[in-house]
Amino acid sequence: MNELQLKLCDIQGRLFELSAEKKYDSAAFIKAFMMSDTAKELDSKYNRMQWAGEEYLLEEVASAAGESFTGNGEIFSADMLYWIGYIYRYWHYYNGEDSAKIYKQAPVQTMKRNYMMFHTMDPELAIEDLKEIHNQKKLQSINLIL
């Protein structure tokens, strides 16, 4: 992981934190961001969005999503939001997967449920464990069908 990539992980973590300050429903915001064109642009090898700060990124996501994450939903702690944002971006650099695929493997409820166990772990170990949780769920689904 190079210095620029780690900086972008930090920016995404701060972006997720900022969503709490704006009183955005955390689950709705995270899903909207991870499936957004903004996240897709951050996933690309080089994009101007990579030089934008978290305030600008939040404006981009909010304008595209409209009112979809404003409301009465739960607002996660700043620490949890930072960790989720950081891990999702780190995951992209670690495995090369795009944000939408990452979100499908580790949706917000999985991240929230595992935060207490994983937030002190090395990011790569946390990602491997999150991928294992996803794979176990897939196996359980297949076994139920059979």
CA 61 remoteness from chain centre: 13
Number of Cβ within a 10 Å radius of residue 106: 22
The total number of structural domains in the chain stands at: 1
Residues of the chain with pLDDT under 50: none
* Predicted local confidence at residue 44, as pLDDT: 85
User: What domain range includes position 18?
Assistant: 3-145
* Predicted local confidence at residue 62, as pLDDT: 83
Closest CA to 76 of 111, 39, 36: 111
